[in-house]
Structure 1
Amino acid sequence: MKFEFKDQGAVATLTITSSLFEFRKHNRAVDAALLSADVTARTSGIFIRKTVISGPANRSLRAYKAAINVEAK
């Protein structure tokens, strides 16, 4: 699973990319990110799952930290 955080000023994006074999772990990380902060998400792909979470910088950073904590467990 790969996490990429980009801060573009007022809006930041978090991209979570994983393979088909990490489907459940990917969903847990996305759910944790969405529950921890008020941000929006777009998911695409079947074999390579890619979710882009965007929102204000402080909320996106909070979502990034929550997703990293789920992935580490």
Structure 2
Amino acid sequence: MKIDYQDHGVTASITISSTVFEFRKHNRVVDTTLFLTSTTAKHTGFFLMKTVISGKTPVVMRAYRIALQEMKR
């Protein structure tokens, strides 16, 4: 699983990518992040899953920290 943070000034985005073998972990990280923050997400792919979470920079930075903590669990 790979988490990438991109800052675009006022907005920011997180890209979470993983393989189909990490399906449950990927969904857990994305669901927890979306539940605890007010961001939007876009899902693509099946074998190589990719989720882009975007929103305002402070909110996405908090979502990034939550995603890293959830990934370590």
Q: 1:36: Cα distance to partner?
A: 1.5
Instruction: Note the C-alpha offset of 1:32.
Output: 1.2
Count of aligned residue pairs for this structure pair? 73
2:48 aligned with 1:48: yes
- What is the RMSD of the two structures over their aligned residues, measured on CA atoms? 0.5
Write out per-residue CA displacement over residues 7-66 of structure 1, whole angstroms, 9 at most, x where no aligned residue.
110000000000000000000000111012100000000000000000000110111111
Unaligned runs of 5+ in 2: none
Aligned position for 1:13: 13
> Residue in 1 aligned with 2:23?
23
1:37 equivalent in alignment to 2:37:
yes
Letter in 1 for 2:67: A
Q: TM-score, normalised by structure 2?
A: 0.97
Secondary structure, aligned partner of 2:54: strand
